[in-house]
Structure 1
Amino acid sequence: MAALRTKAGYTHGEYAQLIATTHAELGFGQMAARREKVSRWEAGRAVPERTAQLAIAHIHAVPQEEVLRLDWPDWLHLANGDTRQLELPWTRAAVPEAILDAVAGRKQLQQEYLLATGWAARSLVKNWLDAVSEEVSLAPTVPLRGVVGRMPPAEAESAEPGSLLEACTRLRTLHQFAAKFSASWLAPATELELRHLADHFLASPEALHTGREVLVLAAEGLSVCGFIARVQGEHVNAQRFYVAALRCATAAADPEVAAAVLTMHVGQYLDLEMHEEAAELLAAVRELLDRHTNGTADPALQALLYAQTARIHAQRGDDMGRVRAMAAGRRALSTPSAAGLPILPLRSESWLSCIDAVSLLDMHQPERALRHFDPLFSRQGPGLNLPPVVRAMYLLRAAEAQLTLGDLVGGAESEAKASALLGGVQAAAAERIRVALRAARHERR
Structure 2
Amino acid sequence: MTSDLLSRRAAALGGHVPTFYRQPLEIVRGAGVHVWDAQRRQYLDCYNNVPHVGHCHPRVVEAIAQQAATLNTHTRYLHPMVVEYVERLCAKFDHGLTQAIMVCTGSEANDVALRMAQAVTGARGVIATDATYHGNTSAVSALSTRRPPIGGYPPHVRLVPAPEAGMTDAEFAANVADAIAELEAAGEGFSGLMLCPFFANEAFPTVAPGFLCATEQVVRDAGGLIMADEVQPGFGRLGSHWWGHDWIGLVPDIVTLGKPMANGHPVAAVVTRPDIMEAFRSAFGYFNTFGGNPVSSAAALATLDVIEEEALVQNAATVGPHVTEMLRGLDHPFLHEVRGAGLFFGMEFRKDGAPATDFVAELVEQVVARGVLLNKIGRHGEVLKMRPPMPFSHQNAEHLVQVLDDALKATPLDA
TM-score range, shorter chain: under 0.3
Higher strand share: 2
Query: Normalized against structure 1, the TM-score is what?
Result: 0.27
Query: Normalized against structure 2, the TM-score is what?
Result: 0.28
Structure with bigger gyration radius: 1
Higher helix share: 1
Specify which structure has the bigger relative contact order, considering alpha-carbon pairs within 8 angstroms and separated by 6 or more residues.
Answer: 2
